[in-house]
Amino acid sequence: MPTYTDITILLITGSTVFCLALALTGALRRRRSGTIPPVPLFPGSNFPGFFSQFYTAFVIITFAMASIAGLRAPETEQPDVFSLIINGFIQIALYLPFLIIYFTLPGRGLPRMRVLDCLSWMVAGLFLMFIPALILDSAGFTQYLVRETGCPENQDVVETLMSGSPGVKIGMLVMAVIVAPVTEECCFRGFVYNILKQYSSPILAAFASALLFSAVHASLAQFVQLFIFGLVQCLLYEKTRSLLIPIILHMLFNAISSVFLLTM
């Protein structure tokens, strides 16, 4: 197994253990002190804490296991359109209940942000995501990691998007621009960040969720850029108090990146 694969698996395992340990120690500390606040599934809601905790652990472990399994699997031919469709339906089925509850839950009491404020934060978010990535690439950091560890410079999805058949490219675009932003934001900002914040602090929760987010993408060359992406998304979620803004920004980021790759 290549060195970069071992490092990536270590990062995935370490970030998973860190997130679970953070939640467990926080829960034990609160229980010992006798101050156990309700753990809302969403800000302003009183959804059962047990479900939110269980589902958070579920998404953390399943994302980690899927990433490790993908790293250890032997290299195969590029995915076909049918497998991409099936994968998309599976992901939607897993997170559709979350979306239904989130966008229909009454009485959350969250203040509405002005459209201009939301647009301002989205523009700021795009700059905060792209500029560090450009700086790291210009400084040769990504190339350094590729040279020293032998890791691929691009994620598998990027390689498929650049060299796949037209049908596969369309399928990958749908996954990257629609399905992935929804499912990943539901997982990492909707559940992981929210729950960890209840048992630690917003800063520590943002660090842990961003670390897990970057690790499960299983791309050592893009690890730092993805970590910054995760931190920015947590910041936007805190500032806008809406999961919809990070989802839209994630879609925009992936769409811009995909257009750039396809027109290179």
**Which pLDDT score, from 0 to 100, does residue 146 have?**
87
The answer to whether residues 243 and 237 touch, using CB atoms and an 8 Å cutoff, is yes
Domain ranges of the chain: 3-262
Q: How far apart are CA 104 and CA 107, in angstroms?
A: 10
Contact predicate 187/233, CB 8 Å: no
Residues of the chain with pLDDT under 70: 1-2, 34-53, 73-113, 164, 264
Burial readout 82-117 (b: 16 or more C-beta within 10 A, e: otherwise): eebeeebeebeebbeebbeebeeeeeeeeeebeeee
Q: Measured between alpha carbons, how far is 68 from 24 in angstroms, rounded to an integer?
A: 23
Percent of the chain with pLDDT over 70: 74
- State residue 113's pLDDT score: 66
Residue 125 has a pLDDT of: 86
The pLDDT of residue 104: 55
DSSP class of 193: I
Please report the pLDDT score of residue 173 as a whole number: 84
| Span 62-92, pLDDT tens digits | 888 888 877 776 555 555 555 656 666 666 6
Cα dihedral 11→67→205→17 (10° resolution) = -60
Give residues with Cβ within 8 angstroms of 64, minimum separation 6: 12, 13, 15, 16, 212, 215, 216
Residue 149 vs residues 8, 65, 152, 246: alpha-carbon distances, Å:
11, 23, 9, 32
